[in-house]
Structure 1
Amino acid sequence: MRSIGIGVIGAGVMGAEHARIIAREVSGAHLAAVADADPARAEAAAHGGRAMTDPEALIADPSVEAVLIASPDATHQRLVLAAIAAGKPVLCEKPLAASTQECLEIVAAEARAGRPLVQTGFMRRFDPAYREMKAAIDGGALGGVRILHCQHRNLAAPAWFTGAMAVTNSLVHEIDVCRWLLSTEYSAVTVIPSPEGDPALFVFETEAGSIVSVEVFMNAAYGYHVHAEAVCAKGTVGMAHPAPIRARRDGAEEGAFPENWIPRFRDAYRIQDQAWVDGIGAGTPPADGSTAWDGLVATCLADQIVAAMETRRRTPLTLPEKPR
């Protein structure tokens, strides 16, 4: 069986996890190289592959047939465009780029290439719990979705975290996965912050007529907790709480929540990366993968929602025309 050479750009927490998955858990591929500005970090993440400091050199390397980008956000557009120019499939962590205009340039470059090359790393589409919810919704037995309730809670935000990043780094996942769950676009949003600003409630109206409510709580104090429940015409479907075990003692039941996203979405990242590799081998991107256009939609809507946080008024949401 042919093994596809994957190059990973960025060896921070996210990039190192992708490199580990490619090296140890994905079939049909091998980790050819890792590039990071810190040579020691690149070496530590390379798992026997080539360690590099120049991401453009990694993209140009003949042993690298596909590129996974997990470098700082500001570098994404430049590196995705370089991968497209080299004709190499690329999986880029969110955000696809820093602005709607930069995303449009990526979408246009991919269109000129004449084949889909870009997948945006919205891994929740591959999470088993979200996939079971979508299967139940699409199956029709529950009737149409009236309200989709979502929670996105973090143990604590780092000191450098800003209010806008609650949208661009956290809510953006719900922006994408709820579009996918409901197979619809958003038409408007209303932002309702708590008196302290955190948590905040985001209420979306959709073109399908359903409502999406998302609570984002960056300093929930008890752990990392992502949850969703769809209230449908004939019933509901929701996730079980993510604690894998329940302990009962002294008249009470206990469960533990992880400190961060890695344990909660470890399976999602593995399944996503395997689907990406399988799609490269088959010449057809995974059906549920988030495309370059999906990445653009998430960035475009996030920018509008950040503005809506200031007005606290119902804000219509719009999208640019798709480049042809």
Structure 2
Amino acid sequence: MTRDGTLGVAVIGTGRMGSDHVRRIDEVISDARVAAVVDIDGERAKAAARRVDGCAAYTDAAAAMADDGVDAVLIASPGPAHEAALLEAFARDLPVLCEKPLTPDAASALRVVRAEARLGHRRAQVGFMRRYDARFRQLKAVLDAGVLGRPLMLHCVHRNVATGPGFTSTMTISDSVVHEIDATRWLLGQEIIAVTVLRPTPSAVAPEGLSDPQLVLFETAGGAVVDVEIFVNCGFGYQVRCEAVGEHGTARAGDDDGLYVNAAGRWGGEIPQDYVVRFADAYDREVQAWVDATRRGEVTGPSAWDGYAAAAVCEAGVCAQATGERTTVTLAPRPALYGG
């Protein structure tokens, strides 16, 4: 699969996330190189390619995948373009790391799942990077070891400095809370069966028409309850925390643990201002793990099924948001490829 032991990666999408992955593969990750970049804006693709020796620029994902130097694909384009790129990669039997969402809705995500199942082997990993964050991995280890006994509740916080133009109330679920959806399923090893959304009076600084903050409640198949405070215009920083409450104790991940300074009669530290800074190490670990597994001929990490399940929960969440009522989650039968 690899040439000279180095994995040639085509990065599809050269926006903020894609550009960061190009930098990461070129400067941080070992045993991989950026062989090609793709963007519908040809000039932007060429600009990204110029920063990497030997990198080709394309405006068409299929053409990039046909490049002899490409062994694997990293998809960082907008969500609506993911399905076509994933199916093209499957047709060429190329390993894929796809940034969330797998696709923007459950129906298209299920099509991807079924297409991969027809291959008979996994090819896709979904970019739920919290699974690679050191603090969340510690929390997962504590839960798996049974230190807390049976998990009863998760208390989650997800705060963002501010939203950009065009951010809508439904995007608080599909773009933000989707991470808590995957974290819940991963930490507890349980599917989410119902969603309720409570919407207090919006903050005075929330953009017109945006319901912010919100409280999202999950119920799981194992009887656990999860609450998520989502506050996307908190104004002061980017914070993500999760506290697990079990029968015998509690454990919390995500507390600020950077440098604290005592000087001039004050103490304090710095709050990250966005996810790229807060989860920089997690992104590095995620991409390195994907590269390592791909070079071994394996696919690990969050699966296409995980991406589909998250999309299905998001759809239930958006419905609950609109109606104010508890909404059940409907999942298709899980293909055997994913342990069904």
TM-score, normalised relative to structure 1: 0.95
Q: Distance in 2 between matches of 1:242 and 1:3?
A: 36
How far 1:170 sits from its partner (Å)? 0.3
Count of equivalent residues: 322
2:24 matched to which residue of 1? 21
Q: Is 1:139 equivalent to 2:145 in the alignment? A: yes
Where does structure 1 lack aligned partners over 5 or more consecutive residues?
none
2:270 matched to which residue of 1? 256
How far 1:126 sits from its partner (Å)? 0.7
Q: Is 1:309 equivalent to 2:321 in the alignment? A: yes
SS in structure 2 of the partner of residue 297 of structure 1? helix
Contact 1:242 1:264 in 2 (8 A): no
Q: Distance in 2 between matches of 1:257 and 1:305?
A: 29
Q: Is 1:274 equivalent to 2:313 in the alignment? A: no
- Judge which range, 29-38 or 74-83, deviates more: 29-38
Contact 2:147 2:248 in 1 (8 A): yes
Q: Distance in 1 between matches of 2:159 and 2:9?
A: 33
> Structure 2: which amino acid aligns with 1:299?
A
Deviations 1:48-104 (A, max 9, x none): 211222222101212111000111111100110000001101111111112212111
How far 1:285 sits from its partner (Å)? 1.6
Contact 2:195 2:316 in 1 (8 A): no
1:65 matched to which residue of 2? 71
Q: Is 1:9 equivalent to 2:12 in the alignment? A: yes
Q: Distance in 2 between matches of 1:251 and 1:143?
A: 43
2:82 matched to which residue of 1? 76
> Structure 2: which amino acid aligns with 1:37?
I
TM-score, normalised relative to structure 2: 0.91
How far 1:45 sits from its partner (Å)? 2.7
Q: Is 1:229 equivalent to 2:235 in the alignment? A: no
> Structure 2: which amino acid aligns with 1:223?
G
SS in structure 2 of the partner of residue 245 of structure 1? coil
How far 1:250 sits from its partner (Å)? 5.0
- Judge which range, 33-42 or 95-104, deviates more: 33-42
> Structure 2: which amino acid aligns with 1:295?
G
2:206 matched to which residue of 1? none
SS in structure 1 of the partner of residue 81 of structure 2? helix
1:41 matched to which residue of 2? 44
- Judge which range, 233-242 or 113-122, deviates more: 233-242
> Structure 1: which amino acid aligns with 2:76?
A
Select 1:166's aligned residue among 147, 152, 172: 172
Closer, same or farther in 2 for the Cα pair 1:322/1:239, shift >3 Å?
A: closer
Q: Distance in 2 between matches of 1:10 and 1:239?
A: 31
Q: Distance in 1 between matches of 2:132 and 2:180?
A: 14
- Judge which range, 307-316 or 63-72, deviates more: 307-316
Moved over 3 A (4+): 249-252
Q: Distance in 2 between matches of 1:189 and 1:298?
A: 12
Closer, same or farther in 2 for the Cα pair 1:240/1:70, shift >3 Å?
A: closer
Q: Is 1:218 equivalent to 2:232 in the alignment? A: yes
2:132 matched to which residue of 1? 126
SS in structure 1 of the partner of residue 322 of structure 2? helix
Where does structure 2 lack aligned partners over 5 or more consecutive residues?
203-210
- Judge which range, 231-240 or 204-213, deviates more: 231-240
Alpha-carbon RMSD: 1.4
> Structure 2: which amino acid aligns with 1:280?
T
Contact 1:96 1:103 in 2 (8 A): yes
